[in-house]
């Protein structure tokens, strides 16, 4: 879920900036925003902890030629079709056998290195660099996103049962989400109505008290 702001601040103006929380499946959205020249203020998913072999971040993904390169410059080629936006790249067994980094790079159960990249991996790298360069403006916008958007999500899950599906099926889940949103909106509307009503009552009381002052 996002909060969007226009460049001019006017209703109906083109969207210029949007915020979102970190999600495993947010890379497609980040790429789509880049294609539309919309600034995305998203704390990109952090790099995973290094394991027993050389981490994937040491490999370079070339989306233009659809290949990857290892730290020694050897080419890893795609194998199979992309699955849910991810592509596996396999190194040549010949290259790995002759590599001095084989023991540090290739798992003992394999003959060559295999890495997997999201097809929108370049967008992830750009998002990480932007996150490091965040200033006061970006921090302020993201904090606004956290209390406005994630706060409502927490309320829906904690107080209105949205943390668990009542009935099976995507359509039923959508209905549950819409009903939850309607309930939250009605609460906001009722609170606003009560606030206005109390303000009117207080104003009338003050006016009546001014017209009929009491003397002790």
pLDDT tens, position by position, 2-45: 445 544 445 555 778 888 877 655 777 888 888 889 888 888 77
- Terminal C-alpha separation, the chain: 60
What is the mean predicted confidence (pLDDT) over 167-193?
94
Is 144 exposed, middle or buried, given 0-12, 13-18 or 19+ CB atoms closer than 10 A?
middle
Q: What is the mean pLDDT of the chain?
A: 86
**172 and 72 both lie in a single domain:** no
Of 76, 36, 32, 30, the closest CA to residue 54 belongs to 76
**92 and 131 both lie in a single domain:** no
What is the mean predicted confidence (pLDDT) over 82-108?
92
**In the prediction, which pLDDT does 6 show?**
43
- Residue 51 domain-assigned? no
**73 and 113 both lie in a single domain:** yes
**176 and 196 both lie in a single domain:** yes
Q: Which is more confident, 41 or 71?
A: 71
**149 and 197 both lie in a single domain:** no
**114 and 129 both lie in a single domain:** no
- Residue 50 domain-assigned? no
**41 and 132 both lie in a single domain:** yes
**74 and 179 both lie in a single domain:** no
Give the Cα separation of 214 and 216 in Å (integer): 7
Residues spanned by the domain of 144: 3-45+125-159
Of 54, 48, 35, the closest CA to residue 123 belongs to 35
For residue 132, pLDDT over 80 is answered with yes
Contact 145, 19 (CB under 8 A): yes
- Residue 17 domain-assigned? yes
What total of structural domains would you count in the chain? 3
**130 and 32 both lie in a single domain:** yes
- pTM, whole model, 2 decimals? 0.61
**113 and 62 both lie in a single domain:** yes
Which residues, in sequence order, are bridge partners of residue 69? Answer: 60, 75
**182 and 92 both lie in a single domain:** no
**In the prediction, which pLDDT does 49 show?**
76
DSSP H helices, the chain, are 27-35, 93-97, 102-105, 121-132, 136-145, 151-159, 170-211
């Amino acid at each position: 879920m996002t909060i969007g702001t226009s460049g001019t601040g006017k209703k109906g103006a083109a969207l210029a900036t949007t915020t979102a929380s970190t999600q495993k499946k947010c890379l497609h959205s980040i790429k789509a925003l880049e294609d539309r020249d919309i600034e995305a203020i998203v704390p990109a998913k952090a790099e995973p902890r290094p394991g027993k072999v050389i981490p994937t971040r040491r490999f370079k993904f070339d989306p233009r030629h659809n290949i990857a390169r290892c730290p020694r410059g050897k080419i890893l080629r795609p194998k199979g079709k992309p699955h849910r936006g991810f592509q596996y790249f396999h190194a040549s067994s010949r290259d790995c056998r002759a590599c001095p980094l084989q023991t540090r790079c290739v798992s003992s159960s394999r003959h060559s290195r295999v890495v997997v990249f999201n097809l929108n991996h370049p967008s992830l790298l750009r998002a990480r660099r932007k996150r490091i360069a965040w200033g006061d403006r970006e921090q302020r916008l993201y904090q606004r996103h956290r209390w406005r958007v994630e706060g409502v999500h927490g309320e829906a899950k904690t107080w209105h049962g949205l943390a668990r599906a009542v009935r099976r099926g995507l359509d039923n889940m959508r209905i549950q989400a819409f009903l939850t949103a309607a309930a939250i909106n009605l609460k906001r509307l009722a609170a606003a109505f009560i606030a206005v009503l109390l303000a009117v009552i207080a104003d009338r009381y003050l006016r009546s008290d001014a017209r009929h002052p009491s003397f002790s």
